[in-house]
Amino acid sequence: TQLLEQSPQFLSIQEGENLTVYCNSSSVFSSLQWYRQEPGEGPVLLVTVVTGGEVKKLKRLTFQFGDARKDSSLHITAAQPGDTGLYLCAGARGFGTGNQFYFGTGTSLTVIP
């Protein structure tokens, strides 16, 4: 059973378009991370959100943590080909007490020039 569900699973858009990726769960998480992964490489951490309702911006990327800390979203403005990759959300359930990180199913993004 997957604790975190991501949608959409695949996304192909034109350069310059906006997009939103969702990460949903019925469980509460103490924090949630977003990673970007390229083929054959390990996931690279983009951001961590820890407070319900928190919004963080990283250049053209905006991350939001749901008020109830059960869901998160990643919004990309004016997508560029360099944004292509697999986007993963991962949640930690324990409050820093050693629990594993649960990963979402992933969203594969392709930005067409």
Phi and psi at 81, nearest 5°, equal -55, -30
The residue among 79, 3, 80, 90 whose CA lies nearest residue 47 is: 90
Judge contact between 91 and 31, C-beta under 8 A.
Answer: yes
Q: Is 101 one of the binding residues for other proteins (CB under 8 A)? A: yes
Among 11, 19, 33, 71, binds other proteins (CB under 8 A): 33
Q: Whose Cβ is closer to other proteins: residue 29's or residue 111's? A: 29
Q: Please name which of 16, 61, 15 lies closest in space to residue 35, comparing C-alpha atoms.
A: 61
On the question of a cis peptide bond just before residue 8, with omega within 30 degrees of 0, the verdict is: yes
Q: Which of residues 55-94 bind other proteins (CB under 8 A)?
A: 88, 90, 92
Q: State yes or no: residue 28 binds other proteins (CB under 8 A).
A: no
Of 30 and 62, the one with the shorter C-beta distance to other proteins is 30
For other proteins, the binding residues (CB under 8 A) are 2, 4, 6, 30-31, 33, 35, 40-45, 48, 50, 88, 90, 92, 96, 98-106, 108
